[in-house]
Amino acid sequence: MGGKYSMFGRQKNNDAYVLIERDMAAPFISFKHSVVSYAMDKKHTNLKSLYVYRGYFREAKAIVNNGYLEITFQSSKHAEKWDSAEESVHDIAWLFRDFMRSWKPVNTDYSYMRVYQKN
């Protein structure tokens, strides 16, 4: 098992998958920054969802739908990696503080999901 981590997105206009980042050194840190940027309409505005894969296995999916950001992980262990990851700055400054002002966590019965509602 194993494989390298990659991030993909799915385009809004034709559902095609596009590669966002290959050979991610810190996958959940990069994913968190991309998801926050995506939810705040700062990046990936042409995409309807984001994914992290390790080899051929999907470990996380994020989608904004009807005012909710839903992040589904392969397991609760992977969800905990999201919880502990610090957002990494790439080409946009830290957004997590602004994200938490605009999006509020919603309780869910599923330990492998994180859900936020837009204010």
Taking the model in full, what pTM does it have? 0.87
Residues of the domain holding 84: 5-118
In single-letter form, the type of residue at position 85 comes to A
Q: What does the pLDDT look like over 57-114, one tens digit per residue?
A: 999 999 999 999 999 999 999 999 999 987 665 555 556 677 888 899 999 999 999 9
For 43-93, the DSSP string reads S-TTEEEEEEEETTEEEEEEEEETTEEEEEESSHHHHHHHHHPPPPPSSS-
- 70 contacts 81 by C-beta, under 8 angstroms: no
Domain count, the chain: 1
| Residue of 54, 72, 63 lying closest to 3 (CA atoms) | 54
